[in-house]
Copies of this chain bind each other. A is one copy, B any other.
């Protein structure tokens, strides 16, 4: 469907039917915004959990739900928003079903899915992408409006997709008010290990450390305040989403983790040696993060 065809009656509203596969936090939040902002006027949901399907219709995230084949046949555009392990199974099935539709995913790793689809006859209808937004919560109940506002919308390996498919996926991210970033899939996976995956490792480990101590000191969390919450918040994130991410991106996460452990070790050495100058130098260097973190 061309841009011209979409703008019947002088309206910017798209006459586009969209399928969202995976009615969780990301799929649900995208559906909400993409309808409100006119990117799609009919949204079909697909989810293996009947409870998610019911909730997504009741919450108004989607108009109806059905099975994958029926949904794809009726759609112009298919968004796959499921754990990255499931994507490796479901994306080939979706591409088997498409003719001229556009397909994108939102997974937090990109190399594995690109590898899995290499050589698929419909590969060029697929645009691997990743919106850098989310919360630590899951399910259609966790869907939020404006979740993506101002964040990075990454599309990968753009030369491997048809131009019209790429244009349509980039239009979707623009409709969400995201900043478009183009990367190679391998670059993507390395970069997100630094700005997202490692934060989850440190948060899980921190939560486990304090929870273990709490077994002896039951009142420990009575003392916790904003600082602890901030660093431990991501530890609420589900294993259904994160175990597959860590497995698919293990090499990059291990590299970053080892860089991180070097920094912790340097900090530890300063503590052991009572090296006030060393601590001050490390903290002052870390303060440079003010440059990139606002507020």
Contacts and interface: CB of A to CB of B under 8 A. Distances in A.
A229 to B, nearest CB: 5
Contact of A267 (B205, B232, B247, B259): B205
A282 interface: yes
B287 A223 contact: no
Nearest to A251: B271
Contacts of A261: 261, 264
Interface in A216-231: 217, 219-231
A291 to B, nearest CB: 8
Interface residues of A, number: 87
Nearest to A280: B239
Contacts of A242: 279, 283
A268 B254 contact: yes
B293 A271 contact: no
- Which of A256, A257, A287 has the most B CB atoms < 10 Å from its CB? A287
Nearest to A278: B243
A38 B283 CA distance: 38
Copies in the complex: 2
A152 interface: yes
Interface string A173-216: 00000010100000000011011101111111111111111000
A151 B239 contact: no
Interface of A: 132-135, 151-152, 154, 179, 181, 191-192, 194-196, 198-213, 217, 219-239, 242-244, 246-247, 250, 253-254, 256-257, 259-261, 263-264, 267-268, 270-272, 274, 276, 279-280, 282-290, 292-293
Given A211-B288, A254-B272, 6 more contacts: A194-B213, A195-B225, A246-B270, A247-B276, A250-B274, A253-B271
